[in-house]
Amino acid sequence: MPVADMSAGSALFPVPKDLDNYGLTPAEFRVYVHLARRMALRDGSTTIEAIAKHCRLSNKVVEACLKRLEKLILIRAVPKSFSMEGGRR
């Protein structure tokens, strides 16, 4: 039995071809994959607390992971004060 169905169109999210070259820690990789999966499901809005709970990490670890992923330009933080339409709430 296959571990995952990788047939055409079944991938949950695209994985950058050079992701292995970033030297991510296991926690950074876990947070990145969690966020990528949420974006693939069109559910990109989340909180540090929710990520920490889902990934079984502390809030402090998640914050550090997010900062590094943003520094590596793998993610882009969006201020909470803006709506999906781009205007201030």
Cα Rg of the chain (Å, integer): 15
Are 55 and 62 a contacting pair, CB within 8 Å?
A: yes
pLDDT of residue 77: 80
Q: Taking the CB of residue 87, how many other CB atoms lie within 10 A of it?
A: 8
Is residue 26 within 8 Å of 57, Cβ to Cβ?
A: no
pLDDT of residue 66: 94
CB-facing half-sphere around the CA of 49: CA atoms within 13 A: 0
Residue in this structure with the two tokens 């993610």, named with its chain if needed: 75
DSSP 3-41: SS--STT--SS---TTGGGG---HHHHHHHHHHHHHHHT
Q: For the chain, which residues make up each domain, given as ranges?
A: 24-71
Question: What averages of pLDDT result for each successive group of 10 residues across the chain (89 residues)?
Answer: 44 74 95 87 82 96 95 83 44
- Nearest-angstrom CA–CA distance, 8 and 10: 6
Question: Does the pTM exceed 0.85?
Answer: no
